[in-house]
């Protein structure tokens, strides 16, 4: 087993400006359990640039604090809140 240690820098874990991404993971907070479904995840993803996929831990409901959805784009234009319609009700959830 090899172990390497490096000094921490403020840019650790960040993408450089010159790297262009065409997708980003978003975290949906406050989603009611009754809305925890692939069709709702797609609805949210489409409002945030275009749905690509849902993270496996979200599909398996490993935790219910947030849902992770992969969407198209670099994340710059993702809204902070989205509206979800289901069964005649409208919900606002935070991204």
β-strands 66-72, 81-86 pairing:
unpaired
Average the pLDDT over 29-49 and give the result: 94
User: Which residue shows structure tokens 């993270």?
Assistant: 55
pTM of the model: 0.79
Q: How confident is the model at residue 54 (pLDDT cuts 50, 70, 90)?
A: very high
Q: Which residues contact 37 (CB under 8 A, 6 or more apart)?
A: none
Whether residue 60 has pLDDT greater than 80: yes
Q: How confident is the model at residue 50 (pLDDT cuts 50, 70, 90)?
A: very high
């Amino acid at each position: 087993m090899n172990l390497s240690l490096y000094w921490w820098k403020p840019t650790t874990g960040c993408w450089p400006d010159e790297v262009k991404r065409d997708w980003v993971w978003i975290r949906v907070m406050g989603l009611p359990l009754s809305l925890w479904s692939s069709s709702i995840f797609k609805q949210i993803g489409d409002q945030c640039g275009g749905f690509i996929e849902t993270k496996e831990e979200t599909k398996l409901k490993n935790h219910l604090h947030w849902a992770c959805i992969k969407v198209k784009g670099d994340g710059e234009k993702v809204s902070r809140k989205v509206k979800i319609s289901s069964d005649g009700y409208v919900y606002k959830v935070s991204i």
